[in-house]
Structure 1
């Protein structure tokens, strides 16, 4: 069977169905890998922002996280039964958020007492509300962030 008869995902990737199945034992395995890769990209981006953006890195990263989550929430929900394969993702993101929050707090860009878990819950809640609309998610996050930054 040529690419014409391949599943849509294989066609879009420019490979045949057999190639796709050789690398991933199931659709769930492929989707899990896509999800984990996205989380790894977010973590790397957070580390980059922590090193280059100073106190503004947290806000920029939370916006990227919220956009990503609003775009991929359905994927995350569908992978929930997989559990073990994606269970470490929250910890990775929480660690990056904690690093960025430390830098932001040191730069006076985060009020004392704001917990990292609260920021992640806020980003997730906004993403749920704005599922499928990353622009709305980013706008809502910017509104919320204006409430967590200290007054001048």
Structure 2
């Protein structure tokens, strides 16, 4: 299984070590700031948290969309790599583990929930990459008789995305709703 990224998701990471450090600091700061305050947070806050000037931020990311897309690209890449890790588990457990990681990704990145539905090349490439990473896990669980045969990876990702973007009373409620959804995905012994 290859959880690697497709050509549509290309990082703008610079080659020089100092420029790469600034770039990485900006992406890390943006990830944390967006998670705390949403994608519309002040870019000055992101630059300050990264310890760089606003000019450095704009040199690396001319638009807010460029920065959001880079953070999203890195998150999608990590999610896709996770598919390669969980494949060592039994088919159903692998699918469930990856879906839990997907919930974590969406749940902690509500700033990107809206972005996942955008039509820009980078976001669309991310959606294709997530599908490509999750589809073999679903197919493997279906072949093992553990997952329903009448669902596609698109069905599953939409279900999980919906679960992840709803407000819950607490984390326990989120987990209960996820368990209900996973029970619905599980094949019933016939």
Per the alignment, residue 107 of structure 1 pairs with 144
Relative to structure 1, the CA distance from residue 86 to residue 23 in structure 2 (aligned partners, 3 Å threshold; closer, same or farther) is same
Greater fraction of residues in helix = 1
Per the alignment, residue 128 of structure 2 pairs with 91
* TM-score (normalizing by structure 2): 0.65
Query: What are the equivalent positions in structure 2 for 1:72-87 lying under 5 Å apart?
Result: 72-77=109-114, 83-87=120-124
Per the alignment, residue 52 of structure 2 pairs with 15
Among 24, 37, 54, the residue aligned to 2:90: 54
Q: CA deviation at 1:59?
A: 0.8
1:40 is aligned to 2:77: yes
The separation in 1 between residues aligned to 2:131 and 2:172, in whole angstroms, is 23
The separation in 2 between residues aligned to 1:27 and 1:80, in whole angstroms, is 17
Relative to structure 1, the CA distance from residue 47 to residue 138 in structure 2 (aligned partners, 3 Å threshold; closer, same or farther) is farther
Among 25, 29, 40, the residue aligned to 2:66: 29
The separation in 2 between residues aligned to 1:135 and 1:89, in whole angstroms, is 29
* TM-score (normalizing by structure 1): 0.79
Q: Alpha carbon RMSD of aligned pairs, Å?
A: 2.6
Residues 54, 107 of structure 1: 8 Å contact kept = no
Residues 58, 101 of structure 1: 8 Å contact kept = yes
Per the alignment, residue 68 of structure 1 pairs with 105
Unaligned runs of 5+ in 1: 1-5
